[in-house]
Amino acid sequence: MTAKKKKAQNNAASTHGEGAEPSRLPFEPAQASRKPAKQAPPSNQSAVAKSVASPAKAIDKRSNASPIPEVVNRRMVSRAAKFCGVPTVCALLTFVVSYVAIANDLFKPPTVAVLLVSLGFFGLGVLGLSYGPLSASWDEERVGSWLGWDEFKLNFGRLRDSWRAAKDESPPST
């Protein structure tokens, strides 16, 4: 095992704690896929036909390599819908409530206040769209908590580790 891999495993263990889940997901492939080496352009017609047919096969292999389980996928989508949908509905209700208040002479909210409140709710909706999948438990057997803060910390740590690993593996640009 190389020194980089050992260091990455030690960083993952320290990031997620000793008693935490393993850093590899249940649906993640055992080895990271490598980019294929660039090939010379084909010289004859049959080689061109083979190269045209091969990307479809490569896509099929990639899509079947590590699909997200249906249970986890539904959990992610429902959490994203909740954490994005509720603030977005509140943002739209801000306009309705201010209209009703003005139409019935209850009070006249400043236009800037209505704008800022609705923008704040829309911003929370955008954040909720990202927080939803990250706060869902990526383990098929575990549902996770209602708010999902522990799952968010674990999943964001995994995401950050994969960004760092990708950055370390990428060749330096010149």
- DSSP-derived secondary structure for 61-101: HHHHHSPPPHHHHHHHHHHHHHHHHHHHHHHHHHHHHHHHH
Q: 136: domain range?
A: 79-174
> Does residue 14 fall inside a structural domain?
no
Return the pLDDT at 30.
62
Residue 37, classed as helix, strand or coil, is: coil
Is the pLDDT confidence value at 81 over 50?
Answer: yes
- Determine the average pLDDT of the residues in 45-70: 56
> Does residue 140 fall inside a structural domain?
yes
Is the pLDDT confidence value at 54 over 90?
Answer: no
Angle at which helix 111-135 crosses helix 149-169, to 10 degrees, equals 80
Return the pLDDT at 174.
64
- Determine the average pLDDT of the residues in 110-135: 95
Contact call for residues 131 and 83 (beta carbons, < 8 A)? yes
> Does residue 17 fall inside a structural domain?
no
Counting the structural domains of the chain, the total is: 1
CB 158: neighbour CB atoms within 10 A? 20
> Does residue 60 fall inside a structural domain?
no
Q: Which DSSP letter does residue 18 get?
A: T
Return the pLDDT at 26.
62
User: Could you report the per-residue pLDDT of 5-41, keeping only the tens digit for each?
Assistant: 444 444 444 444 444 445 666 666 566 555 555 555 5
Rg (the chain; Cα; Å): 24
> Does residue 157 fall inside a structural domain?
yes
Q: What is the DSSP string of 126-160?
A: HHHHHHHHHHS--SSS----SS-HHHHHHHHHHHH
Burial class of residue 79, CB neighbours in 10 A (0-12, 13-18, 19+): buried
User: Could you report the per-residue pLDDT of 88-118, keeping only the tens digit for each?
Assistant: 999 999 999 999 999 999 999 999 999 999 9
Backbone φ and ψ for 81, nearest 5 degrees, come out as -65, -40
* CA-to-CA dists, residue 7 to 47, 70, 149, angstroms: 43, 33, 27
Average pLDDT, the chain: 76
> Does residue 35 fall inside a structural domain?
no
pTM for this entry: 0.58
> Does residue 23 fall inside a structural domain?
no
Extract long-range pairs of 141-146: CB within 8 Å, 24+ residues apart.
143/75, 144/75
Return the pLDDT at 128.
94
- Determine the average pLDDT of the residues in 136-163: 89
> Does residue 68 fall inside a structural domain?
no
Backbone φ and ψ for 68, nearest 5 degrees, come out as -75, 130
